[in-house]
Amino acid sequence: MKSSYKSAASIGLFALSLGIPGLGQDSTHSTTNWPMIGGNPGNSHYSSLKQINRSNVSKLKVAWTFETGESGGLETTPIVIDGVLYAFTPSQKVIALNAATGKLLWKFDSGIKGTGPDRGLTYWTDGKDKRLLAGVMNFLYAFDPATGNVIPSFGKDGRIDLREDLGRDPLLQSIALTSPGVIYKNLIIVGGRTPETLPAPPGDIRAYDVRTGALRWSFHTIPHPGEFGYDTWPREAWKTSGAANNWAGMAVDLERGIVFVPIGSAAPDFYGATRVGDNLYADTLVALNAETGQRIWHFQGVHHDIWDRDFPAPPILVSVMQHGKLIPAVAQTTKQGYLYALNRITGDSLFSIENRPYPASTTPGEKASATQPYPLKPEPFAPQTVTEDTLTNRTPEAHQWALKRLREMRHDGQFVPLSVGKDTLVSPSFEGGAEWGGPAVDPETGILYVNANNYASMGALAVNTGDSPGRKTYLSQCSVCHGERRAGSAPEFPSLLDITHRLTTEQIISTIHDGKGRMPAMPIEGRSLIDLLDYLGTDKDLSPGNIAVSEDQTATNGKTSGAQATSAMPPQDAAAQYTMTGYRRFVDPDGYPATATPWGSLNALDLKTGKYLWQHSLGQYPELVAKGMPDTGSENYGGPIVTSGGLIFIAATNFDKKIRAFDKTTGKLLWEATLPFAGNATPATYEVDGRQYVVIAAGGSSMNPRGPIGGVYVAFALPR
C-alpha cells in the first residue's frame, strides 16, 4: 500500500483538497459545480469561486426560491451538477431543480412512509454513464439523473435494502441512510443510522458496485472472531451488540485509495455492562483501503463510551505545513469540543495527545475506562467545565437559580460517569461542541473553521424497576429521550403523557416502526409492542394478530411480524438494568442556557500552529436582541463553507433564521439575510452561466427545539 502513495508536495495543496484523479476533464467535477455535500471528496467545504467576494457580498439578493410544499424540516446540502440541483424534500422525495431558476425538473416519490434527516445525495459518473444515488429510509436507490427514473438493473428493481448483508435477520434490523455514501472508482461506500438502544444492528461499513448494487466488501465495526479489536468486546458481543455505526458521512483520498470513516457510539449509549471493554471501533476514526475495506489504521477518541460522544461529522482532508514539510492530514471534530489532526497515511497525531486518568463508575456492572485521550493542541473549541464563575449573568435571578442548581449536581468536567439518582453536568452538551454539519478548511491558508454549541446538559441513570413488561421496554427503548417518567424535555423531546389523547394507536405504532425526526425506526414487535402500548395507555385489547403486518409492508416500511421479532430478540436484561433518565439541557427557568455566553460560536483555527485566530459568537435570540443582548450566540446545526472570495457562509442558527457571510480572515460579519425557516443545513455554492449562487435549505430540523419547521430552498446571487 505504501508504495502507491504519492508525495503530498508533488500533488500540491490545492489538488489534494479538490483533485479528482481518474476522471479526466469531465465537467461534473469542475469548480463551477458542487458535486458532493462536502464540495469535494476530501470534504473541505471549499469553493474556488470568487465572483461573490468581500467587496460585493453586501449586495446579495434572493435569486430564486423553491417551496417544497411540505413541513418537516430540512438538513440537506444540495449537490449541483452542470446547472442541475439535486436535493430532498422533508418527506424524502428526491427533486431536481434548474439551478439558475429553481424550476422543478422532476420529482421521485418512493411511496415509503417515514421521516428523518436526509443530508444529501451521491453522484457518480465514469465520463459516459451517470447515476444519482439516494437513501430513502433503509433503501439505497439509483436514478438516471436526467429523468429521475429508477435504474432497474441496480440491486433489486433499482434499490438495495440496507437491512440485508449484516449477518442478522434483515426483518429485525433498523437502519436508515441519513448521510449520503461516498464514491471510490465504481464503488459507493455507505454507513447508516441505527437505534441507540438494543436491539440494534451492527454498524458495518459496506461498499456496493455502483452499477449492479452487488456487495463488494464489508468492514465489521464490532469485530468478529479473529479480527483486530475482537478482544476489546465480550466474546459474543458481535452477535448481539449494535450500533458503532457511521451516521455522519465519510471522506475519501482518491489519490491514495483511502476512505476515512468516523464511527459513532455503541448501543446502549449510557450503560455499558453488556459491552465491557474499550469497544473498537466505536468512537473511532478508521482509515480503510477503499478498494478492499481492509483496515489501514485507526484512532479511538473515546474508550468505552458511556456519554454518547460519537464522532459527529465527516472528517476533512487537508495538507498542513509543519517543520518545513507538507503533511497530508485528516482533521476530525468531536462533540466534546476537541479537534484531532492526524497524518492521513500513518494515523499519527500532528500534535501531542495525552491519555489522562478519569474516575471509575459507581454504577453496578459498569466498568468505565481508566483513561481517555486528550489533545494538548489545539485547545478545545467549546467549554469543558462549568464553574460558579461561568454561569449565566442574563439576569441576577437567572444567575442565582443556576448557582443553586449547579451546587446540587456533580460537575467535574469531561468523562465523569453518570450516577444513579444524581445529575451529572455534561459540558459541552450531548448536542455539541461540533455537530454533523462539520467544519470547513481553506486549502490556500490551512485555516479551519468550525461552529460549536457551547451550552451544557444534565444526565443521570435510573434503575429499571421492571414493575411491568411494558415499563421495562419503555425504559430500555424510549426513556433516553422521553425521560424516566415519560415527561420528555419539551419541545425537542415531547412528553408521552396522555399521548393517546393526541395520537391514535395506529399513529403511535407507525411512529415506532417508521421513525420521526430524530427518532429512528424501532423494531419493537409482538408481545413487547403490546406491552409497551399498554404501558403508554393505549388500547389494552390489542392482540398479536391485530398489530402484525404483511410481508409487503415489511419490505416497504421495515416492519415485521410479532412471531418473528419475539424469536430473534437478543438478550437485553443486563443492558436494561439501568437507563438514562433523558436528554436534558442545563437551562434557566426562562428556557435560556444557564451557562455564560456565547452559547454558540464560530472559530477559526490555524492548523499549522494549533492556535485560534479568532472566535466569535454565532446566532441570536431576537427577543434578547430587543433587550440589548445581541451577541449571546445560539444553538446551531449545519456547517460553514469557505470560498476563494474571502468569505465564510453559514446559516445553522436555530432561533434567528439567518444566513450570514463573514470575512474569513477577521471573522467580521459582512452580510446577513433572514430565511423563511431556520437554515439547519450546510450551504452550497456553484456557478451557472457565469453567475455564482449560494443556496441553503431553510426548513428547520428535528434539532430545532423552538422554531417552526417547513421546507424551502433559497438561492442568493448578485444582482445582474
Q: What is the mean pLDDT of the chain?
A: 88
Whether the Cβ atoms of residue 120 and residue 34 lie closer than 8 Å to each other: no
Residue 62: alpha-carbon gap to chain centroid: 29
Residue with cell 443492558: 575
Please give the pLDDT value at position 544.
37
Please give the pLDDT value at position 545.
38
Domain with CATH 2.140.10.10 in the chain: 30-384+427-455+598-717
Which of 152-161, 169-178, 273-282, 665-674 bottoms out in mean pLDDT, i.e. has the lowest? 169-178
Domain with CATH 1.10.760.10 in the chain: 465-576
Between the alpha carbon of residue 705 and those of residues 23, 429, 584, the distances in Å are 43, 15, 12
Please give the pLDDT value at position 403.
98
In this structure, what C-alpha cell is assigned to residue 318? 487537508
In the CATH scheme, what is the code of domain 30-384+427-455+598-717? 2.140.10.10
| H helix count then E strand count, the chain | 12, 41
Sorting pLDDT into bands at 50, 70 and 90, what band is 540? Answer: very low
DSSP letters along 534-560, please?
HHTT--TT--HHHH---HHHHHHHS--
In this structure, what C-alpha cell is assigned to residue 685? 455554492
Sign of CA dihedral 50, 51, 55, 56: negative
Q: For residue range 440-469, list pLDDT tens digits in order.
A: 999 999 999 999 999 999 999 988 775 677
Largest Cα span, the chain? 74
Whether pLDDT at 29 is above 70: no
Q: For residue range 189-238, list pLDDT tens digits in order.
A: 999 999 988 889 999 999 999 999 999 999 999 999 999 999 999 999 99
Please give the pLDDT value at position 76.
98
Distance CA 720, CA 703 (A): 37
Sign of CA dihedral 687, 689, 691, 693: negative
Whether the Cβ atoms of residue 559 and residue 138 lie closer than 8 Å to each other: no
Whether pLDDT at 327 is above 70: yes
Whether pLDDT at 562 is above 50: no
Name which residue leads in pLDDT, 400 or 571. 400
Please give the pLDDT value at position 1.
32
Whether pLDDT at 4 is above 90: no
Who contacts 201 (Cβ-Cβ below 8 Å, separation ≥6)?
A: 163, 166, 168, 173, 174, 175, 194, 242
CATH superfamily of 465-576: Cytochrome c-like domain (1.10.760.10)
Instruction: Report the percent of the chain where pLDDT is more than 70.
Output: 88
Q: For residue range 574-612, list pLDDT tens digits in order.
A: 445 888 888 899 999 999 999 999 999 999 999 999 999
Distance CA 122, CA 131 (A): 8
Distance CA 195, CA 207 (A): 22
The mean per-residue pLDDT over the stretch 68-96 comes to 96
Query: Per residue, what are the HEC states of 322-354?
Result: ECCEEEEEEEEECCCCCEEEEECCCCCECCCEE
Whether pLDDT at 682 is above 90: yes
